[in-house]
């Protein structure tokens, strides 16, 4: 057993689908997210938009947190969701804003 802490993917699905956790860690976050053509901030902006437009609110929780770590503010992320309401649909935006409200409440004051 390794003393190395588990990644979020390993914690989420590593015991059930270890290959998916490995691909998530090594390819998605190890390679794709590390490419220099887009900043991590920009990648977060794109990822949050994709999750909102697809209605993937379960994945949105961790990506909103990551987006804040990557330099996006709560104001910017709320504005992104508002903007997407007109492209992705009102119900998806309303669901996403509820997720954002919960995630941002974890941190206290808005940034």
On whether residue 101 sits in a domain, the answer given is yes
Distance CA 76, CA 45 (A): 9
What is the domain extent for residue 61? 38-107
On whether residue 27 sits in a domain, the answer given is no
Is-contact 111 73, C-beta < 8 A? Answer: yes
On whether residue 52 sits in a domain, the answer given is yes
Does pTM top 0.85 for this prediction?
A: yes
User: What Rg do the C-alpha atoms of the chain give, in angstroms?
Assistant: 15
> pLDDT band at 21, cuts 50/70/90?
very high
On whether residue 43 sits in a domain, the answer given is yes
On whether residue 44 sits in a domain, the answer given is yes
The pair of three-digit structure tokens given for residue 77, joined into one six-digit string: 């992320």
Instruction: Identify the sign of the CA torsion 35, 111, 81, 65.
Output: positive
On whether residue 28 sits in a domain, the answer given is no
How far from each other are the two terminal CA atoms of the chain, in whole angstroms? 40
Distance CA 76, CA 43 (A): 14
CB atoms within 10 A of CB 81: 23
- Give the ranges where the chain is alpha helix by DSSP (H): 8-13, 18-23, 40-54, 57-69, 74-88, 90-107
pLDDT at residue 107, as a whole number: 77
State pLDDT tens for residues 32-44. Answer: 999 999 999 999 9
Alpha carbon 3 to its chain centroid, in Å, reads 27
In this structure, what CATH number is given to the domain that contains residue 79?
A: 1.20.1290.10
Q: How many domains does the chain have?
A: 1
pLDDT at 74 over 80: yes
pLDDT at residue 16, as a whole number: 98
């Amino acid at each position: 057993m390794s003393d190395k802490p588990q990644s979020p993917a390993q914690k989420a699905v590593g015991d059930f689908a270890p290959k998916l956790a490995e691909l998530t860690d090594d390819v998605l976050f190890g390679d794709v997210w590390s490419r220099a053509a887009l900043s991590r901030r920009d990648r977060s902006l794109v990822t949050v938009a994709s999750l909102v437009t697809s209605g993937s609110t379960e994945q949105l929780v961790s990506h909103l947190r990551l987006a804040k770590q990557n330099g996006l503010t709560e104001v910017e992320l709320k504005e992104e969701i508002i903007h997407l309401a007109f492209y992705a649909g009102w119900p998806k935006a309303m669901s996403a804003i509820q997720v954002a409200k919960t995630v941002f409440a974890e941190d206290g004051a808005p940034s």
